[in-house]
Chains A and B, each alone.
Chain A
Amino acid sequence: MSHRDTLRALTAARPTSLDPAAPPADPALIMSYPQEETVTRTARRPVGRLVLAAGLPAVALAVTGAFLLNNPSGTGPTLVQPPASAPASNAPAELPTDAGSVLLAAAQRSESTVASDGDYWVLRAEHGEGTRRGQDEMMWLAALPGLPSSGYFRRADGSWAARPMQGHTSANNFLLAGQPRSVQELAALPTDPGQLKRRLLGSYDGNDGEAEGRDVFLFHAGMDLVLDLPVTPQVRGAAYRMLAELPGVTSLGRVTDQRGRIGVAISVTRQGDFAKSQTRLIVDPATGQALASESWTGGRLASWLVRLEARWADGPLPDASTLS
């Protein structure tokens, strides 16, 4: 058999399973996502495998991944954040800025707020990469079974456009430590920092060669809890306390987030193959609220997210034209 024949025979042997069994999904679903304004290489790196939960919904999650994973959640109740333009606080200079003190103060602040709930957990955040302009996004995530979820993104002209989030349910809307959790599961998390840590480590696979270190894993899980997950003020307080006890967590002192709000940056750093990579959680020491998260690689800001709003709301989903 000549080389050419071999290739020809291989072509003839093409398995039929290479052809999709179903017609392609409607591309409109894909086109409902915002396009990038300019071309960069790393567009949606940060999500990794955490979003794999299930089929197409994974795509929806993937795009907003940075948002979901790194993101907002405030202290407690119908927490309406101050307008984005105003600094979240005028953090007096005498407030302590070391990691332990900031986190413990945040824990106390958090625990003193009142719990609330609703049909939807509403998150609004601006996220971006490097120094490029960010994308302002809002998500109405169903907390109850049977309700639809919807995302909204802000167009350049300031108006909002709805973005369907098919496949998103109250069962998979909230990711903690790489796994989807219902609001009930989140509410049942331990309020003791030691127990919380043990519970989170139940999802940690130290034998996975690709896994991040245990403390980095806990830092990210803790950051999810204080930034963007609908947990009770007590659980959020426990997450702050857990973070305060983690080795390797350091304070970078006073910083401003990408919206110019003043806070204290708490960080973990790990040595990657080519550069140091650092994750920063920015906390307002005066209010105890988590303001933002940032990822730095080799001394440069790689991606960031500022949380603008995290609150409970009741349905139905708002029409995009009613959002301001």
Chain B
Amino acid sequence: MTHEEPNSRFTAIYHRHHRQVYAYAVSRAGRTLADDVVADTFLVAWRRLEAVPEGPLPWLLGVARNVIRERFRDDVRQASLATELRAWTVEADADVADGVADRAAMLAALAGLSDDDRETLTLTAWQGLSARDAARVVGCSTASFFVRLHRARRRLEQAMSDPVPVDRRRPVRLTAQEYSR
């Protein structure tokens, strides 16, 4: 193997999947921590390039998942994520495009779900992963991922039809995320 091969393979993977890993990191840990998660994830990918499979996205997201768990204390992650989830709703509210109310209600409902439910739904809806690939990310069987997805979807629907009184319009302290931009 020449020197160029691993480099070009890694560069291709990096450019192709950077946005997706970033999106996953934001949805799991918030914008403030996302850059760190992405950098660490690709560092692992570089160091173990031989282990990175073809169609590397599920592998990368699985690494990102571990990076998040290992690197950040849970309270730090939860705080960053809570800020992120509030910001989604506020930003959707502020959006003047059509269908806004639906979007904001959807995101508020999503914010009210458990971490696991939210991950299950967003891997499918936002990352566009098949159940098989999503199952590889979270480390379960495809069958049990289907079950999880079914339940998470039901809880999301429930949350939307029976909205919890979320203070959506209260101005959110945006300090953290503004600094991170």
A contacts, CB < 8 Å to B: 1, 3, 6-7, 9-21, 24-25, 27, 30-31, 33-36, 39, 43-45, 48-49, 52, 55-56, 58-59, 62-63, 208, 210
Are A18 and B22 in contact, with the CB atoms below 8 A? yes
Residues of B within 8 Å of A59, CB to CB, are: 36, 39-40, 43
Say whether, besides A24-B18, A39-B48, A1 and B103 are in contact (CB < 8 Å): no
Q: Nearest 6 A-B pairs (CB), nearest first?
A: A18-B23, A10-B125, A13-B106, A13-B103, A24-B18, A15-B88
Cα-based distance from A10 to B155 in the complex (angstroms): 13
Say whether, besides A12-B103, A55-B36, A56-B35, A17 and B126 are in contact (CB < 8 Å): no
In the complex, whether B142 has a CB less than 8 A from a CB of chain A is: no
Are B23 and A33 in contact, with the CB atoms below 8 A? no
Residues of B within 8 Å of A25, CB to CB, are: 39
Residues of A within 8 Å of B51, CB to CB, are: 39
Are A17 and B106 in contact, with the CB atoms below 8 A? no
Stretch in B5-13, B54-62, B132-140, B165-173 with 4+ CB within 8 Å of A: B5-13
Residues of B within 8 Å of A20, CB to CB, are: 18-19, 22, 34
Question: Which of these, B71, B106, B177, contacts A52 with CB under 8 Å?
Answer: B71
Are B103 and A43 in contact, with the CB atoms below 8 A? no
Residues of A within 8 Å of B110, CB to CB, are: 10, 13
Are B47 and A35 in contact, with the CB atoms below 8 A? yes
Residues of A within 8 Å of B7, CB to CB, are: 31
- In the complex, how many angstroms separate the beta carbon of A107 from the nearest chain B beta carbon? 35
Task: Tell me the chain B residues, 58-75 only, with Cβ under 8 Å from chain A.
Answer: 70-73
Question: Which of these, A10, A34, A208, contacts B121 with CB under 8 Å?
Answer: A10
Are B70 and A45 in contact, with the CB atoms below 8 A? yes
A-B CB contacts (within 8 Å), total count: 126
Say whether, besides A19-B22, A24-B18, A14 and B125 are in contact (CB < 8 Å): yes
Are B26 and A17 in contact, with the CB atoms below 8 A? yes
Say whether, besides A18-B27, A36-B47, A27 and B35 are in contact (CB < 8 Å): no
B contacts, CB < 8 Å to A: 6-7, 10-11, 14-15, 18-19, 22-23, 26-27, 31, 34-36, 38-40, 42-44, 46-51, 70-73, 84, 87-88, 91-92, 99, 102-103, 106-107, 110, 121-122, 124-126, 150, 153, 156-157, 177, 181
Residues of A within 8 Å of B49, CB to CB, are: 35
Are A16 and B47 in contact, with the CB atoms below 8 A? no
- In the complex, how many angstroms separate the beta carbon of A280 from the nearest chain B beta carbon? 23
- In the complex, how many angstroms separate the beta carbon of A297 from the nearest chain B beta carbon? 16
Residues of A within 8 Å of B122, CB to CB, are: 10
Are B35 and A55 in contact, with the CB atoms below 8 A? yes
Chain B residue at smallest Cβ distance from A43:
B47
Question: Which of these, A1, A45, A49, contacts B73 with CB under 8 Å?
Answer: A49
Are A9 and B102 in contact, with the CB atoms below 8 A? yes
Residues of B within 8 Å of A43, CB to CB, are: 44, 47-48
Residues of B within 8 Å of A6, CB to CB, are: 153, 156-157
Are B47 and A48 in contact, with the CB atoms below 8 A? no
Cα-based distance from A21 to B157 in the complex (angstroms): 31
Chain B residue at smallest Cβ distance from A40:
B48
Residues of B within 8 Å of A16, CB to CB, are: 91
Residues of A within 8 Å of B92, CB to CB, are: 13, 15
Chain B residue at smallest Cβ distance from A1:
B157
Are B48 and A11 in contact, with the CB atoms below 8 A? no
Q: A17-B26, A43-B48, A52-B72 are in contact. List 4 more A-B contacts (CB 8 A).
A: A3-B153, A17-B91, A49-B72, A55-B36
Chain B residue at smallest Cβ distance from A11:
B125
- In the complex, how many angstroms separate the beta carbon of B21 from the nearest chain A beta carbon? 10
Ordered by A's residue number, 10 sampled pairs between the chains whose C-beta atoms are within 8 Å are A11-B125, A12-B103, A17-B26, A17-B31, A18-B23, A27-B42, A33-B43, A34-B47, A35-B48, A49-B71
